[in-house]
Structure 1
Amino acid sequence: MKRTNPVYKLYHSWQSHYVKSVNEGTFVNGSDEKNSQEALSESQGYGMLITMLAAKKDLATQADFNKFVIYYQQHTISKQNRLMAWKQNKSNNNIQTLAKNNTDATDGDMDIAYALLMADQKWHSTGKYNYKKLATNIVNDLIKYNYNDENELLRVGNWAKNDEKYNNLIRTSDLIPSYFKTFYELTDDKRWQKTYLKSIRILEKLSDKNKTGLIPDFVLVTDNNVSNVAPNTFESEDDNKYAWNANRVPLRLAFATSNQELKKINKKILTFFNQQNSIKAVYNLDGSSSNDYSSMAFTAPIAVAAYQQKSEFQNLSEKLRKQVYDDTLSKNYYADTLKVLAALMIDNELK
């Protein structure tokens, strides 16, 4: 019975708090401000992944997923560019993309494409939506608009191609080898294979750079060279720390893959966190914490990585799994959404 599922209450609490309806579609509200609603391609991707993982446990339906598809289709950059515009703001009953926001954010598009492939696997593509075709369009447009021939990786967004300062900037949480492998198998485009191999090499280099194995939010990659960025290069003073982007790396390296190289990278990170009394929000790469407080945005991805390697990190895995399964929400979109995503990944045995 689905009500006995350990994440049933957590998923439904998240759904009722964050999933919003507009123009026949649904989106995940990425705004933490009261009485304010905004959609992000990032939150859309998370919402679609969460809904697919919930559907595998009979907690969500195909109709639930299709509403996310409707919203995605309404907010692509253009008819020719099927990547999703990264942000929409809601005013009155209308939600729109401002011209300055009509660019993409790579991670959101990858999650949307992967969720569509999960939908194709579960429901096939013979109904109202051809999920596989929609996913293929996104995957091809990621190559067309975001692929960097020089470093064989994806830019942070399509806009970065024409910006010398950001052309070689890499958001480390965009390095998702399991996705790249899937996209290569889907399209047979050799560039995805190059990205798959290169991303693993870059992650290994970053892991080897310090004793903690912690990886920074952003790096610069030119050819095969990886260099750290200065604070405030792109988003914040934490750009060169294990902060609000890189916090997702352990989850990305553990979900839907059993790659041994990725396990090794996560094992080093897990070894570090296994020695800490608690997981804080934001770390310097030497392991010193920048803040005294904790956030599920940092705890949840470690829970996923620890679950994958629970034979070696049994106590850590069990402790963190209990925290992630707890149905209390923090009312912070990012932390709560990563918590639900992690809980459902664990409940689905990381598949």
Structure 2
Amino acid sequence: MTRPLAAFLLAALVGCAAVGGAEPPPATPEPRRPFPQHVTYVAPALSPSLPQATLDADVLAYYRVWKERYLVPAGEDAAGRPLYRIVHSLEKPDETVSEGMGYGMMIVAYLAGADPEARELFDGLFRYVQAHPSDVDPRLMGWIQPLDGQGNDSAFDGDADIAYALLLANRQWGSDGAIDYAAAARTRLQAIAESTIGPASKLPMLGDWVAPGGRLEEGLKYHEFTPRTSDFMPAHFRAFRAFTNDPLWDEVGAAIQRAVSGLEESYSPATGLMPDFATPEHDMGFPLKPVAPNFLEGPHDGDYDYNAGRYPWRASTAVLLYGDAFWRERMDKLSHWAERATGGDPAGLNAGYHLDGTPTEGQAYFTIFFAAPLATAAMTQPDQQAWLDALYLAVRDRHEDYYEDSVTLLNLLLLSHNYWAP
């Protein structure tokens, strides 16, 4: 099938791999990397045992539902250009978070070529981001809209994914159009570096509201050594390094490896699980330990819960795109533990675990949020074909809510070999 005909058919179905440098390509009305891309990942890398055409169709079918449910118009800017946003929850349709905007921008950039509206949607999403800056560092996005009465500040993951999506857009469409994606990415990456990377720790901070310094005995609860482990995005940091040529991103990559190594050695040697949040063992600095309950979000803040469940996705991306040996070893332990813990049946996955592998109480139910990232982890392990296939079949056509569906769709892009580095 020729590429133009394939793109036409894929667009009808929707109903609507190389790392680059810093120089933006010329703008083009057509995507340079239209879906599907069929990226060859760094070997050894498994694929679900289904035809490639089926994997592509699964992504497109999932995207069609995701787009209908969660990507909504949000008015116009002062120049009359349309804005779009991602709904935070089906139960709270008026709410949007920066995390969702990052997910949405990445997804739309990857689906360009299949969705003829992709560029318009991407630009409208980014204009919404620009229209809702943080009060702390206005180069970043305020994490929740409308404001919740607890301040207007940023969340690291949202801005990091927004920056990555801008790099994707730069490669997809060029930066000579209505939005200079490359310039916008540089601005956001500079802000992330200056306002949300610990100057001493080199770890991602929770957001621009966190004061980097201080001492524990002075009562500082949140600081540069209290990261969210799902903010450990090694593939993103590699792409940021390639784009900016800034060695800071090498330091960030080394720091998250140090944090993960210490946590795994002391708290999850048999499982490789990470806590939602970590804090220093003693004074400011390494090694880190899991936080106590109710550190920031709830009683499972020190467990492998609804933040850390994204960790296998972030780590596996670095393995599949870059062949990173450190993260492959981490996924070796975690993915094999997960298969043993469930007897190879995804239905046996608990919605959260203590770091020793015992299920957290009151969460004995299956959710695609935990299963989809574990599927990408299984891709990195040559002896886990059956486990990968079981996980894939469990998530490919199941929909829950914004958070679970967005994470699953991004993992489906990886699982189908359609997730590429900018």
TM-score, normalization: structure 2?
0.76
1:274 counterpart = 2:339: yes
State which of 382, 388, 407 in structure 2 corresponds to 1:338: 407
1:334 CA displacement: 1.2
Distance 1:207 1:31 in 2: 33
1:85 CA displacement: 0.4
Aligned to 1:250: 312
Q: 5 Å matches for 1:322-337?
A: 322-326=393-397, 328-330=398-400, 332-337=401-406
Aligned to 1:93: none
Letter in 1 for 2:376: V
Cα displacement string for residues 245-264 of structure 1 (whole angstroms, at most 9, x for unaligned residues): 00000000112432111011
Distance 1:60 1:226 in 2: 45
Aligned to 1:212: 271
1:64 CA displacement: 2.0
Distance 2:116 2:262 in 1: 40
1:98 CA displacement: 5.5
Cα displacement string for residues 270-298 of structure 1 (whole angstroms, at most 9, x for unaligned residues): 00111114222010111111221111111
Aligned to 2:392: 321
1:347 CA displacement: 2.1
Q: 1:129 to 1:99 in 2, by over 3 A?
A: farther
1:197 CA displacement: 1.1
SS in 1 for 2:289: strand
1:128 counterpart = 2:178: yes
Distance 2:383 2:114 in 1: 27
Q: 5 Å matches for 1:99-248?
A: 100-161=150-211, 164-167=220-223, 168-209=225-266, 210=268, 211-221=270-280, 222-248=284-310
Distance 1:59 1:265 in 2: 39
Letter in 1 for 2:260: L
Runs of at least 5 residues in structure 2 that lack an aligned partner in the other structure:
1-8, 14-52, 76-81, 215-219
Q: How many residues align?
A: 340
Distance 1:227 1:246 in 2: 14
Aligned to 2:359: 289
SS in 1 for 2:275: coil
Aligned to 2:66: 14
Distance 2:153 2:113 in 1: 32
State which of 305, 330, 334 in structure 1 corresponds to 2:377: 305
Distance 1:183 1:193 in 2: 9
Cα displacement string for residues 51-93 of structure 1 (whole angstroms, at most 9, x for unaligned residues): 122226557621221111111111122696311100002xxxx
1:39 CA displacement: 0.7
Q: 1:139 to 1:99 in 2, by over 3 A?
A: farther
Cα displacement string for residues 9-61 of structure 1 (whole angstroms, at most 9, x for unaligned residues): 21111110111111221111113426x42010011011111112222655762
Cα displacement string for residues 225-247 of structure 1 (whole angstroms, at most 9, x for unaligned residues): 21221111111110110001000
- Contact conserved, 1:172 with 1:249, CA < 8 A, in 2? yes
Distance 1:246 1:213 in 2: 11
SS in 2 for 1:26: strand
More displaced, 51-60 or 79-88? 51-60
Distance 1:59 1:325 in 2: 23
Letter in 2 for 1:139: L
Cα displacement string for residues 160-185 of structure 1 (whole angstroms, at most 9, x for unaligned residues): 11782101211001111221222222
- Contact conserved, 2:136 with 2:208, CA < 8 A, in 1? no
Letter in 1 for 2:393: K
Superposed CA RMSD:
2.0
State which of 70, 73, 91 in structure 2 corresponds to 1:33: 91
- Contact conserved, 1:52 with 1:60, CA < 8 A, in 2? no
Aligned to 1:85: 142
Distance 1:7 1:75 in 2: 30
- Contact conserved, 1:228 with 1:240, CA < 8 A, in 2? yes
SS in 2 for 1:220: strand
Distance 2:116 2:389 in 1: 23
TM-score, normalization: structure 1?
0.91
Letter in 2 for 1:15: K
Structure number with larger C-alpha Rg: 2
Letter in 1 for 2:394: Q
- Contact conserved, 1:77 with 1:104, CA < 8 A, in 2? yes
Distance 2:374 2:117 in 1: 25
Cα displacement string for residues 180-216 of structure 1 (whole angstroms, at most 9, x for unaligned residues): 2222222233322211111122122223332111111
- Contact conserved, 1:176 with 1:252, CA < 8 A, in 2? yes
Identity %: 30
- Contact conserved, 2:87 with 2:94, CA < 8 A, in 1? yes
Distance 1:79 1:156 in 2: 13
Aligned to 1:70: 127
Q: 1:106 to 1:10 in 2, by over 3 A?
A: same
Q: 1:80 to 1:287 in 2, by over 3 A?
A: closer
Distance 1:303 1:158 in 2: 32
- Contact conserved, 1:88 with 1:98, CA < 8 A, in 2? yes
